[in-house]
Structure 1
Amino acid sequence: MKRKWGTALLSAVVVSSLTLSACSSNTANTASTAKEGNNQAKDTKSVSSDGFPIVKDPIKLKMFTRIAPTNGPFKDMPVFQDYEKMSNVQVEFIEAPTDGFNEKKNLLFASNELPDAMYRSGLTPLEAIRYGSAGQLIPLEKLIDAYAPNLKKLMETYPEIRSAITTPEGHIYALPGIVTVNAAKTDKRWMNQAWLKKLNLKEPQTTDELYEVLKAFRDKDPNGNGKQDELPMTARNGLSIVPIMAGSFGLDFQLGYNINLENDKVNIWMGSDRNKELLMYLNKLYSEKLLDQELFTQKEAQYLTKQGTGNTGFFFDQTNNPMLDTKVADQYIGIAPVKGPHGDQLQLAAPVPRDFGAFAITSVNKYPEATMRWIDYFYGDEGSTLLRFGRKGDNYEIRDGIPYYTDAFLATGNQSKITPYAGGGAPHLISEKVASYINPPQVQEAQKKLDPYMQKIRYASPMFDEQTAQQINVLRNDIDKYYEEQSTKFIAGALSFDKWGEFQATLKKMKIDELQKLYQVAYDNLKQQK
């Protein structure tokens, strides 16, 4: 159920030298392949401009996709079974698990063994510009105009979508997931209210109060079993805890990176004093076993399991679905972001084009027009309903114009098995009309706690020209990797904060100032486009 945009903001955009060299050496070949592939496409007259089927005679496509731990096989999902009959497009999904997905994705491009499309692929802007410039991904803007009425309408309604996915040369190489409902843009802050009540504690309002609450969860046996086995606080693997807590220390994530915007000036804050304070606070929690000791080693499935045990005090998720699955949802309440030492209280949220690079068409695709028609269906409420809810009657019913899972289907616990939405990152529209499962009353109440602290403008990652993208790729490859490694060590106590000066100096040597200038230019261009 949960998408992983929070983690992605901090994850290094690592494209191996093998991938880069493969892209460079294959540019001519893949560009030729793209042209050849498009020439092999069926007569565009055989692709309907609207309605179904999309094509009169069945066609077959291969799509590489990420499969989350909660998912069942894509071929068994009602959405793809029914849509194949509607569209005459038969899709074979090449599934790769969440853990290790990026490595397999990069290997596809490095080896140039491409599928017809990348579905739920999490392509970064740098990957899109690299593989698009190399000819391995085809431009989509003309296909959108001719074969994607749903997406085209959304881009007209929300201009930030087009600016977030268009390169300086005017090309679109990848499509995002689009979110128009706030509840789908945020991680809720779920706290065990049953434990708060038992220990006669109030919801924490500050980072200091949160520390005291977590200590009470650790020491005062709130589950009542006489053992010190409670887990005070957990989060997704790695540094996902940083964007969750960063807002309490005045740190934002604009332009898809570790960036504050101050008077229209870009400030990459990785070496800042505020970030040091944040990491010191997280180190304090970790060293006192208030923060999950498996934070840097656990897999996604383990994290989801911890949400559903009822034995966790504080965690973060977009929805309440993992708790519902194990019937512990009533134990939890959403809380507001806690106020930090300088009075900061910011909530991280995703932009409207939330999941960049969710879908792309490769140069080997013989049916790009039909493929664009195929994906566009999911950018409308009808297609999104099918994708998220399955079959009417079997899986959902309509109440007041909104689809809801039936009680009988909810009782099976198979919601995450029937939709590629579960696990996040699917290319589709998330609107108020299709958000009942992720935005039930409990989630709505949790979201109300966050709304006052969300930024009015959330800039997505900018698209760069190829040369700038290459520069940023090289700089971020080293900087992001170093930042993640050192930050992990700071939090885990493997590196003393006495080394902070050396940490800052190393970031300087890695040319973080140059990276900041490149983002400043991108931001200035973005402002000029308005």
Structure 2
Amino acid sequence: MKKNRLIAAVAAAALVVSGLAGCGSSASTESAQTVPAGTETESSVQKSSEAVNKTGYPIMNEDYTFKIVYAVGSTDKIGGWENKDFVKKIEEDTGLKIQWVGIPEASYNDQVAIMIAAGDLPDAFIGQIPNFAQFLDSFVKMNDMIDDYAPSLKEFFDKYPNIKLAGMFPDGSIYGLPEVQLDGYVAGKSLAINKKWLDAVGMEMPETADELFDVLMAFKTQDPNGNGQADEIPFAFYKDRKFDILKSAFGFAGYDEKDYKYPYLQVVDGKVDFYPVSENYHAYLQYLNKLYSNGLIDPNGFIQEEVDMIAKGTNDQIGVFPNYSYDDITVGDYAGDYTYLLPLKDSNGERHYQPSAWSGTVIVNQFAITNNCPYPEAMLRLYDYINSSFDNRLLFGWGPKDMAWVDNGDGTISKKADPVLEGYNSYAEVRHTLSMGIKGIFLWTEEDNAKFAVTSDREIKYMERQKPYMDCAVKEFLPEGQDYPENTQEINVLLTELRTYMDNFMAESVMNGIDDAKWQKHLEDCRKFSYERYTELNQEYYDRMMKLAEE
């Protein structure tokens, strides 16, 4: 690995901009100069513990300027944090001296990779490191420091052990810390159905596959939008959002989409199962072909983009569609006509739904301290300071009062989003110009988010579907976490071919049908594309994660 880095460093030397050169500076850098990266002598540990206060402020007893590299968000109107008010507050409150080095997010991965290859590291990074697991010897293991230097983080991990688990490597080590924005919404994926059309055709909410077929047939034949044209699309979808929620009717739950980390897999009684070779999946494909053959699903769905589906939705043409966010994104002013459709009952009367891993956004390994940092405890205390109170999380994650949010005077707050602050085009611009925003390192909890007043119809509808969907959620699924780099690489290689095959196979099966001969060939093809090895690797990962969770 060192040889590869040396080669990469020589090739990249001319590309590293001068603003990125060097690490933090100190009046006394003897420790950093004499101790090789990745090692800690007794004297260096003692020096660090003497220089860094475990509690209180200032954090440091030594004169040292830390260098922190971070990603600049595309919606940051100023283009960097260096002279912003929230940075001044950090330095005033903590006493830390920090050189902030921002890299535009479009080039962040490339420039950080060059820095790591060259060994030209800052004290810390705010922003995920590309291929982080391959470079752990360049970063500080934090497990033994958290209890003493990050009480707020420890409290957070105790409350959300699944998020802690997501950042742990197979041996239990923690080299990176998360950025978290929880919102209480675990049931993000759903189906939306046009209740106005249901009333127009005089039918009840469908609960089984057969009932849904009958409803879709009525949507096709009875002109529910009342325009005198046969322009209704009973079931709409696009190439990245298809039929996954319908799997419930056939006794299983899982996702195939390209943005899902563990496609084609479910967990049953602790065993990872590749469901595309099951008879339930066979029946699921036959049902989809029945819908297609009767003209009940959009024939352009496999090739169209989301924008194409939106054009139809905003023209009052859609009966049912996969809704992974707010329904007004797809159907615009017709959003009031729609409600959620629960996962359908299977032959045993049971529903199956796979929820999100957590309720909101979790970016693992968003904050990492390098081995070039002589005082890693100080950087950990900085992370903890940002998360030490609700007021801090609000300021550093959203922005200042009366600019990014307002106090409603009743214990709640509201985002200042309609209208946004003068001079800004969107709330994202306000947030990421006046605070770290989603590019930062704040731990926003569900309790924090509950202080935002929920007043819009779209938020209320989103909240209303949470409990009904979660009542039918599966109890077992692959958790988010870190795997061995070599396993991750092998899985990615297997998935490249497997995804291409499965996408083509599904489209072919839905449009042209799936008889016994085609099904047998499919089973052979899955073996050819090493589904058994893919399943085995994920079983090993699942078992390791369950063991870590018990420790």
- TM-score above 0.5: yes
Residue 489 (str. 1) matches residue 504 (str. 2): yes
User: Contact 2:201/2:222 (CA < 8 Å) preserved in 1?
Assistant: yes
Q: For residues 152 and 206 of structure 1, do their structure 2 counterparts lie closer, same or farther at Cα, with a shift above 3 Å needed?
A: same
Secondary structure class of the residue paired with 1:293 = coil
Secondary structure class of the residue paired with 1:346 = coil
User: Contact 1:66/1:120 (CA < 8 Å) preserved in 2?
Assistant: no
Structure 2 match to 1:251: 252
Deviation at 1:44, TM superposition (A): 8.1
Task: Find the partner of 2:156 among 151, 154, 157.
Answer: 154
Deviating more after overlay: 148-157 vs 312-321: 312-321
Code of the aligned partner of 2:162: E
User: Contact 2:168/2:174 (CA < 8 Å) preserved in 1?
Assistant: yes
Deviation at 1:418, TM superposition (A): 3.7
Structure 2 match to 1:298: 305
User: Contact 2:216/2:296 (CA < 8 Å) preserved in 1?
Assistant: no
Structure 1 match to 2:461: 442
Tell me how far apart the structure 2 counterparts of residues 270 and 79 of structure 1 sit (CA, whole Å): 51
Structure 2 match to 1:260: 266
Structure 2 match to 1:205: 207
Secondary structure class of the residue paired with 1:409 = coil
Q: Which has the higher contact order (CA 8 A, sep 6+)?
A: 1
User: Contact 1:177/1:425 (CA < 8 Å) preserved in 2?
Assistant: yes
Q: For residues 429 and 198 of structure 1, do their structure 2 counterparts lie closer, same or farther at Cα, with a shift above 3 Å needed?
A: same
Q: For residues 358 and 521 of structure 1, do their structure 2 counterparts lie closer, same or farther at Cα, with a shift above 3 Å needed?
A: closer
Task: Find the partner of 2:520 among 501, 505, 510.
Answer: 501
Tell me how far apart the structure 2 counterparts of residues 380 and 163 of structure 1 sit (CA, whole Å): 23
Structure 1 match to 2:5: 26
Task: Find the partner of 2:479 among 460, 467, 481.
Answer: 460
Cα deviation code 1:249-288 (max 9, x no counterpart): 3334599554333333332323222233334444555663
Deviating more after overlay: 154-163 vs 247-256: 247-256
Tell me how far apart the structure 1 counterparts of residues 350 and 143 of structure 2 sit (CA, whole Å): 41
| TM-score under structure 1 length normalisation | 0.70
Residue 84 (str. 1) matches residue 103 (str. 2): no
Q: Spell out the pairing of 1:270-281 with structure 2 (5 A cutoff).
A: 270-281=276-287
Q: For residues 461 and 389 of structure 1, do their structure 2 counterparts lie closer, same or farther at Cα, with a shift above 3 Å needed?
A: closer
Q: Spell out the pairing of 1:403-422 with structure 2 (5 A cutoff).
A: 403-406=413-416, 408-409=418-419, 414-419=426-431
Cα deviation code 1:464-498 (max 9, x no counterpart): 4x3xx414531x23432233212222332378634
Structure 2 match to 1:394: 403
Tell me how far apart the structure 2 counterparts of residues 384 and 496 of structure 1 sit (CA, whole Å): 53
RMSD of aligned Cα (Å): 5.1
Secondary structure class of the residue paired with 1:440 = helix
Q: For residues 179 and 85 of structure 1, do their structure 2 counterparts lie closer, same or farther at Cα, with a shift above 3 Å needed?
A: closer
Percent of aligned pairs with the same amino acid:
21
Code of the aligned partner of 2:166: A
Tell me how far apart the structure 1 counterparts of residues 50 and 181 of structure 2 sit (CA, whole Å): 32
Task: Find the partner of 2:345 among 339, 344, 366.
Answer: 339
User: Contact 1:348/1:454 (CA < 8 Å) preserved in 2?
Assistant: yes
Deviation at 1:460, TM superposition (A): 1.0
Q: Which runs of 5 or more residues in structure 2 are unaligned?
A: 10-31, 92-97, 256-260
Deviation at 1:528, TM superposition (A): 4.5
Deviating more after overlay: 170-179 vs 44-53: 44-53
| TM-score under structure 2 length normalisation | 0.68
Cα deviation code 1:38-81 (max 9, x no counterpart): 999x97888776788988998664334786xxxx3375799995
User: Contact 2:494/2:534 (CA < 8 Å) preserved in 1?
Assistant: no
Secondary structure class of the residue paired with 1:517 = helix
Code of the aligned partner of 2:252: L
Code of the aligned partner of 2:368: I
Secondary structure class of the residue paired with 2:276 = coil
Tell me how far apart the structure 1 counterparts of residues 282 and 109 of structure 2 sit (CA, whole Å): 34
Code of the aligned partner of 1:25: N
Residue 314 (str. 1) matches residue 305 (str. 2): no
Task: Find the partner of 2:489 among 473, 481, 484.
Answer: 473
Secondary structure class of the residue paired with 1:25 = helix
Code of the aligned partner of 1:405: K
Tell me how far apart the structure 2 counterparts of residues 388 and 324 of structure 1 sit (CA, whole Å): 29
Tell me how far apart the structure 2 counterparts of residues 79 and 321 of structure 1 sit (CA, whole Å): 39
Structure 1 match to 2:16: none
Cα deviation code 1:215-264 (max 9, x no counterpart): 444554444444455554445652x4354444443334599554333333
Secondary structure class of the residue paired with 1:448 = helix
Task: Find the partner of 2:193 among 191, 194, 219.
Answer: 191
Deviation at 1:186, TM superposition (A): 2.7
Structure 1 match to 2:76: 73
Structure 1 match to 2:167: 165
**Number of residue equivalences:** 487
Tell me how far apart the structure 2 counterparts of residues 121 and 307 of structure 1 sit (CA, whole Å): 36
User: Contact 2:177/2:367 (CA < 8 Å) preserved in 1?
Assistant: yes
Task: Find the partner of 2:133 among 129, 135, 145.
Answer: 129
Structure 1 match to 2:446: 431
Tell me how far apart the structure 2 counterparts of residues 180 and 407 of structure 1 sit (CA, whole Å): 19
Tell me how far apart the structure 1 counterparts of residues 82 and 207 of structure 2 sit (CA, whole Å): 43
Tell me how far apart the structure 2 counterparts of residues 495 and 270 of structure 1 sit (CA, whole Å): 18
Deviating more after overlay: 214-223 vs 499-508: 214-223
Code of the aligned partner of 2:505: F
Tell me how far apart the structure 2 counterparts of residues 417 and 292 of structure 1 sit (CA, whole Å): 38
Code of the aligned partner of 1:391: P
Bigger-Rg structure (1/2)? 2
Tell me how far apart the structure 1 counterparts of residues 243 and 121 of structure 2 sit (CA, whole Å): 35
Q: Which runs of 5 or more residues in structure 1 are unaligned?
A: 1-21
User: Contact 2:127/2:367 (CA < 8 Å) preserved in 1?
Assistant: no
Cα deviation code 1:148-173 (max 9, x no counterpart): 43322121223333333212323223
Task: Find the partner of 2:104 among 76, 79, 94.
Answer: 94
Deviation at 1:384, TM superposition (A): 4.5
Cα deviation code 1:120-176 (max 9, x no counterpart): 6597xxx543343xx465544356445543322121223333333212323223444
Tell me how far apart the structure 1 counterparts of residues 231 and 82 of structure 2 sit (CA, whole Å): 42
Tell me how far apart the structure 2 counterparts of residues 108 and 397 of structure 1 sit (CA, whole Å): 37
User: Contact 1:232/1:313 (CA < 8 Å) preserved in 2?
Assistant: yes
Q: For residues 178 and 285 of structure 1, do their structure 2 counterparts lie closer, same or farther at Cα, with a shift above 3 Å needed?
A: farther
Q: For residues 512 and 24 of structure 1, do their structure 2 counterparts lie closer, same or farther at Cα, with a shift above 3 Å needed?
A: farther
